[in-house]
Amino acid sequence: MNVAAGTIQVWSDLLCPFAHVAIHRLRTTRAELGLDGVVRLDHHTFALELFNGPHSRPGTDSEAVGLGQLAPEVGFRLWTQPDWTYPSTVLLAAEAVHAAKAQGLQASEDLDAAIRRAFWFDSRPIGHRQTILEIAAGLESVDTTELTTALDSGRARPEVMGDHAIAVTDAVQGSPHLFLPDGTGIHNPGIEVHWEGPWASGYPIARSIDPAWPEKLLRAAAG
């Protein structure tokens, strides 16, 4: 991967609980270290639905419950809205994150974080255009008019599909996968997990194996 100095490249899916934990820990630790504005996150799409079809809510729910015990500070919440509003696809939301990147990495990062919060905390249907734009309207770093034009023209769609063309190779192992400027790549950092029973009908057992990983990666990216 070609990763710019002062940047951590993040490959993930918006509905992936493991990615939510990793990104939350990166952002929290970055603020604690005083590295906001020094290290940026460059978001790329590892679209699970392009591998597996529509998102499986049982799998997502069971992973969130397992990880919620390991990382309660992340604040997972189970889906509380009508079942028919649950997003089976988040490709448009991923496209919005790419479109925001044209306004700068800060805009892209802020929108990505806000979309994840809207899903995990507020049970909002983040696959829907109106919801995405409402979320964006609450962010100072995002020009919502410009984002609307980009979404409606499909301007960023090739970026999502370009990421998928890379994701299907051995270069990216899954969601999340982080890459540093020195070429280091780490898949699902700091967590080891195994399933008791089948995926989505059993439950995951997760444990922390390296709680210091966010600081290590951030300092390495900062150079």
Beta bridge partners of 8: 41
Q: Percent of the chain at pLDDT above 70?
A: 99
| Domain at 7-222, CATH homologous superfamily | Glutaredoxin (3.40.30.10)
Q: Token pair 């490709």 is at which residue? A: 91
CA distances from 162 to 60, 109, 199 (A): 25, 19, 29
Tokens of 13: 């899916």
User: d(Cα 16, Cα 2) in Å, to the nearest integer?
Assistant: 24
- How many Cβ atoms from other residues are within 10 Å of residue 79's Cβ? 16
User: Is pLDDT at 128 greater than 70 in this prediction?
Assistant: yes
The whole model's pTM is what? Answer: 0.94
> What is the per-residue pLDDT for 74?
83
The per-residue pLDDT for range 30-72, each reduced to its tens digit, is: 999 999 999 999 999 999 999 999 988 887 888 887 777 777 7
Q: Please report which helix (H) or strand (E) contains residue 220, including its range.
A: helix 213-222
Nearest to 23 by CA among 37, 7, 43, 3: 43
pLDDT band, very low/low/confident/very high, at 200 (cuts 50, 70, 90): low
pLDDT band, very low/low/confident/very high, at 1 (cuts 50, 70, 90): confident
DSSP state of 33: T
Q: Please report which helix (H) or strand (E) contains residue 196, including its range.
A: strand 191-196
Tokens of 175: 């969601």
178: left (phi over 0), alpha (psi -120 to 50) or beta: beta
Give domain limits for the chain: 7-222
DSSP state of 92: H
